[in-house]
Amino acid sequence: MRMIDDDLFTPKAVLWDLDGTLVDSDPLWVTAERHCAERCGVPWSDDLSLKMTAAPLPVCAAVLQDAGVSLDAATIIDGLVADVTAMYGDDVPWTPGAWDMLTELRSRGIPSVLVTGSPRSLAEHVVDAAPHASFVGIVSGDDDIAHKPDPAPYLRGAWLAGASPRECLVFEDSVSGITAALAAGAHAVGVDACARVPLSHDAGYPVIASLRELRRCDDTPAV
């Protein structure tokens, strides 16, 4: 797959999902969720993990409570965020090709917006670590709007970029995120490299193994 060809579609802005798409942070969230469950004596399982895949934090808290975690939702969420923040440390585990793609977009004058269900504190950490001036805005799980798969986050992301959704390209690693992007009217590309659940390649939207697959229009590798 080539980097956006002028004969096909040149985006006015790129809207990025965070966990599993831009940053390989899903393993950190799984570890935090597992620790929360086990600290409260709740057995961990793949089924429990699957129920929290690409889910906003309030949903994760509800899933853990239903499984037997005897903490209120705010305490669960604060604990998950604290654990993931501690595991991040000073490093951001970029997914393959992400850093170079951000640099490529910046060089072309195409702004990026981070659209995530994660809290703003983590989103800001990633934006601060990204190539300078890559991002022009953040839509976070702390914002008072509906969460993915509702289109609201991507509608706001497009607005922050000064573009219509039809002018935006979205990178996502989950079905709920792609559903949100398409419902908003944006162009969506699935990125499978670090997805917690592999994406179907027969779902009617393009899916790439990683951002390294994308190419510049001049046929030279983007990374």
Domain shared by 156 and 70, yes or no: no
The two structure tokens encoding residue 125 = 């950490």
Residue 220: CB partners within 8 Å, gap ≥ 6? none
Q: Helix or strand or coil: residue 85?
A: helix
> Of the candidates 88, 104, 125, which is a domain's last residue?
88
From the list 129, 156, 133, 132, the residue with the least C-alpha distance to 145 is 156
The two structure tokens encoding residue 138 = 């953040």
* pTM, to two decimals: 0.85
Domain shared by 101 and 47, yes or no: no
Mean pLDDT in residue range 28-53? 93
Domain shared by 170 and 208, yes or no: yes
pLDDT digits (tens, 9 = 90+) for 81-94: 999 988 887 789 99
Residue 17 belongs to domain spanning: 13-24+93-213
Domain shared by 78 and 131, yes or no: no
> Of the candidates 88, 105, 137, which is a domain's last residue?
88
- The residue type of 5 is D
* Domains of the chain: total: 2
Q: What is the pLDDT of residue 215?
A: 53
Domain shared by 82 and 115, yes or no: no
How large a percentage of the chain has pLDDT more than 90? 78
Q: What is the pLDDT of residue 220?
A: 35
Question: Is 222 a domain residue?
Answer: no
pLDDT digits (tens, 9 = 90+) for 169-190: 999 999 999 999 999 999 999 9
Asked if pLDDT for residue 223 goes beyond 80, the answer is: no
> Of the candidates 88, 109, 127, which is a domain's last residue?
88
Q: What is the pLDDT of residue 8?
A: 56
The neighbour count for residue 13, using CB atoms within 10 Å, is 24
Domain shared by 111 and 154, yes or no: yes
Question: Is 66 a domain residue?
Answer: yes
Asked if pLDDT for residue 4 goes beyond 70, the answer is: no
Domain shared by 134 and 155, yes or no: yes
Asked if pLDDT for residue 209 goes beyond 60, the answer is: yes
